[in-house]
Amino acid sequence: MPNQTHRTDVAIIGAGPVGLFAVFECGMLDMGCHVVDALGEAGGQCSALYPEKPIYDIPGYPEIMAADLVSKLEQQAAPFDPTYHLGQQVVALRGAADGRWLVETEAGIRIDACAVIIAAGVGAFGPNRPPLAGIEQYEGHPPGSGVQYLVRRRDDYRGRRVVIAGGGDSAVDWALSLAEVAESVAVVHRRGKFRAAPESVRRLHELTEAGTVELVIPFQLHDIKGVGGELRTVVVRDLDGNERWLAADVLLPFFGLSQNLGPIAEWGLDLNRNHIVVDPGSCATDREGIFAIGDIVTYPGKLKLILTGFAEAAMAAHAIHPLVHPGEALHFEYSTTKGVPGRS
């Protein structure tokens, strides 16, 4: 209900994988959480941009789909009964009584918390669009056709002629995945070197040698053509002006995300290039009681990996414990000895 105030131990801003794991870590230390996210479902980019994209660097999972990882994290957090406020952006963060913090959303929900964990990923995000004349007429088509900036269901591309543009992890990973279902996959990149995981690049070259994937190098997107609003051809050009016309039902340009911190930039936190500066030993910001974890933070040696964010969630939870339970000694126990509520 709007204009309602909830009182809790920890308010978590961001319901991506790192925010969800923070619920678990706080719960294991007897701290309750309310979680806010601007998206309508938990999971952050994993749910919004690539739910069927495989992730390879989660310990214990040689490969797991992004949506499955989110589901596992929700199950892991469930015993601690978190309250989710989804589909609403946090618009204000200000001090409350007794050193607490008041988080307010655009829907009028207020959360009175002892501590705040900002796990907002890259903040508000959207795809970087290629500068192609008339691209708008090919956007907004059903998945598997036109110009798409994300892949939600791999099966939508079954039997389709796919052109992927880009040289990062998203471009390479989706080339590997869609090669299993598409009629054809062509990868357009401006140079021969890819900015992706070496093992993924090795597999991409294997598929190229087998004739399963075509590497269109060194070329860049130049034009797109279609009939009746339906994409038919992607035109690419090299630095010498040589052109190639690639048959295509769908173009997937993966040129990264534009990010915007939004209201976070107005909260008086120490920022460095749109990232929140934190103490790497506790993930504390320069404002007492406010912590930040995941891709939104920076410190010397920071690695933008989900597993790094998981570790930061644990550190933040332990740093918050004395704020929520002052004077109470924390006798840390491993989960194997402590167990989880509601589980035998």
CATH number, residue 204: 3.50.50.60
Say if residue 136 is in the same domain as residue 120: no
Percentage of the chain surpassing pLDDT 90? 74
Give residue 343's pLDDT band: very low, low, confident or very high (50, 70, 90): low
Indicate if the pLDDT at residue 259 is higher than 90. no
Say if residue 266 is in the same domain as residue 287: yes
In a domain, 344, yes or no: no
Distance of CA 99 to the CA centre of its chain: 31
Say if residue 95 is in the same domain as residue 136: no
Indicate if the pLDDT at residue 164 is higher than 80. yes
Range of the domain at 142: 129-255
Say if residue 133 is in the same domain as residue 177: yes
Instruction: Tell me how far CA of residue 253 lies from CA of 156, 171, 257, 259, 296, in angstroms.
Output: 17, 8, 11, 17, 24
In a domain, 287, yes or no: yes
- State residue 81's pLDDT score: 97
Say if residue 107 is in the same domain as residue 135: no
- State residue 149's pLDDT score: 87
Which of 255, 283, 300 is the C-terminal boundary of a domain?
A: 255
Indicate if the pLDDT at residue 258 is higher than 80. no
Residue 187 backbone dihedrals phi, psi, to 5 degrees: -110, 120
In a domain, 343, yes or no: no
Indicate if the pLDDT at residue 223 is higher than 90. yes
- State residue 342's pLDDT score: 66
Say if residue 145 is in the same domain as residue 183: yes
Both tokens assigned to 314: 């644990």
In a domain, 262, yes or no: yes
Q: How many domains does the chain have?
A: 2
In a domain, 98, yes or no: yes
Which of 255, 278, 312 is the C-terminal boundary of a domain?
A: 255
Say if residue 211 is in the same domain as residue 109: no
Reference 300, options 275, 268, 318; nearest CA is 275
In a domain, 194, yes or no: yes
Say if residue 154 is in the same domain as residue 248: yes
Say if residue 266 is in the same domain as residue 242: no
Which of 221, 255, 289 is the C-terminal boundary of a domain?
A: 255
Give residue 2's pLDDT band: very low, low, confident or very high (50, 70, 90): low
Indicate if the pLDDT at residue 71 is higher than 90. yes
Go through 91-102 and write b for each residue having 16 or more CB atoms within 10 A of its CB, e for each that does not: eebeebeeebbb
Say if residue 137 is in the same domain as residue 248: yes
In a domain, 251, yes or no: yes
Reference 165, options 179, 144, 148, 182; nearest CA is 148
Percentage of the chain surpassing pLDDT 70? 95
Say if residue 174 is in the same domain as residue 98: no
d(CA 254, CA 189): 10
In a domain, 133, yes or no: yes
Reference 331, options 31, 29, 114; nearest CA is 29
Say if residue 291 is in the same domain as residue 333: yes
